[in-house]
Chains A and B, each alone.
Chain A
Amino acid sequence: SQTIHQWPATLVQPVGSPLSLECTVEGTSNPNLYWYRQAAGRGLQLLFYSVGIGQISSEVPQNLSASRPQDRQFILSSKKLLLSDSGFYLCAWTVYRGPDTGELFFGEGSRLTVL
């Protein structure tokens, strides 16, 4: 069966420090991978998505970046965190294309607090 792992679960970082959040998927191949951010009291904001190794699409200009070094690994990074980067980060995947693309499988999330 397929599983998704996301870590770390909780992170407290000072302003200006770097960030690395990692997500891996098991039990499937060639998934679409997504990074979402959920700020307090707000809905989900798509940050990045990837349809294949090395293929990254950015939805929102910001100081974050994403990489997909392997088929089932998706990494979210920042060189210098801002206070506004605080939030709950969710990784998700799907193997569907077309009308079922919205059937996503989410990780447990990583809560980032920037102080």
Chain B
Amino acid sequence: AQSVTQLDSHVSVSEGTPVLLRCNYSSSYSPSLFWYVQHPNKGLQLLLKYTSAATLVKGINGFEAEFKKSETSFHLTKPSAHMSDAAEYFCVVSDLPDYKLSFGAGTTVTVRA
């Protein structure tokens, strides 16, 4: 069975500085990986996904993530944080045989002016 670990429960950055959200996964086959963002009292929105194509994946709002099989990681980055990036971020993995989803516990991002 697959699982996902988000290594930081909370990340605080200054506006204009880089953001790094770390995600490690375990999987028996060839996983698909996703990052979602959730603003307060809202539903989740897909930022980007990896489904065995290019290992460097670009998403919306300037985010990107790199799939590293050797490190079983799928870290999310953004070169320059904006105040609107303050939210909770979830890493998600799915895999064979039934593509059930496993959500990470989430990382809360705060952005300081």
Contacts and interface: CB of A to CB of B under 8 A. Distances in A.
Interface of A: 6, 42-44, 46, 88, 90, 92, 97-109, 111
Contacts of B1: none
A109 B43 contact: yes
Given A100-B49, A101-B99, A101-B101, A108 B43 contact: yes
Contacts of A42: 105
B99 A43 contact: no
Nearest to B106: A43
Contacts of B34: 102-103
Could you say which of A42, A101, A102, A104 has the most chain B C-beta atoms within 10 Å of its C-beta? Answer: A102
Contacts of A106: 43-45
A100 B32 contact: yes
Interface of B: 32-34, 41-46, 49, 51-52, 90, 92-94, 99, 101, 103-106
Nearest to A6: B43
Contacts, number: 56
30 contacts: A6-B43, A42-B105, A43-B90, A43-B104, A44-B44, A44-B90, A44-B103, A90-B43, A90-B44, A92-B43, A98-B99, A99-B32, A99-B52, A101-B94, A101-B99, A101-B101, A102-B92, A102-B93, A102-B94, A102-B101, A103-B34, A103-B46, A104-B46, A104-B101, A106-B44, A107-B43, A108-B42, A109-B42, A109-B43, A111-B41
A104 B52 CA distance: 18
Nearest to B44: A106
Contacts of B49: 100, 102-103
Nearest 6 Cβ contacts at the A-B interface: A106-B43, A101-B99, A99-B51, A102-B94, A43-B105, A99-B32
